[in-house]
Amino acid sequence: MNNIRITVIRKIHHADLSARYENPIEHACSMKEGEIFISKNGEKPEGLCESAWQSMLPFVMTLAHGGENFYDGWMKNPKSAMISCNDGFRPVSFLIETIEN
């Protein structure tokens, strides 16, 4: 099974949406751009947000098992995917890539 590198590429905060719809929260997303996680044997890396993990899990598992070329040529690197977490207020984009063993 391939290991998978998960890199935080971009964080966005839609402050206008938060102000309009979100209840105040103390601890918003702690991900940092450039932060890297490694999934070994298809397992969730320590410190990775559970919500983000659930969003990317199908792609991680496919890549970990040797799959590639999502959506028939979507990514320049067929052994990768660009996935965002499902937080509508603070979406985080992750680059998920196969690490050749």
Buried b / exposed e over 34-59, threshold 16 CB at 10 Å, is ebebebeebebeeebbeebbebbeeb
Beta bridge partners of 37: 6
**Amino acid code (one letter) for 32:** K
* Whole-angstrom distance, CA of residue 92 vs CA of residue 66: 25
pLDDT of residue 29: 84
Mean pLDDT, all residues of the chain: 94
Please give the Cα distance from 27 to 48 (Å, whole number): 15
Write the single-letter amino acid at 101: N
Number of domains in the chain: 1
Q: For residue 77, what are the domain limits?
A: 3-99
76: pLDDT confidence band, cut at 50, 70 and 90? very high
Tell me what the mean pLDDT of segment 10-34 comes to. Answer: 90
> If pLDDT is split at 50, 70 and 90, which confidence band does 77 have?
very high
On the question of pLDDT at 21 being above 90, the answer is yes
Give tens-digit pLDDT for 34-67: 999 999 999 999 999 999 999 999 999 999 999 9
Please give the Cα distance from 47 to 94 (Å, whole number). 14
pLDDT for residue 23 = 92
What 3-state DSSP class applies to 52? helix
Q: pLDDT at position 28, please?
A: 77
Confidence at residue 101, expressed as pLDDT on a 0 to 100 scale: 66
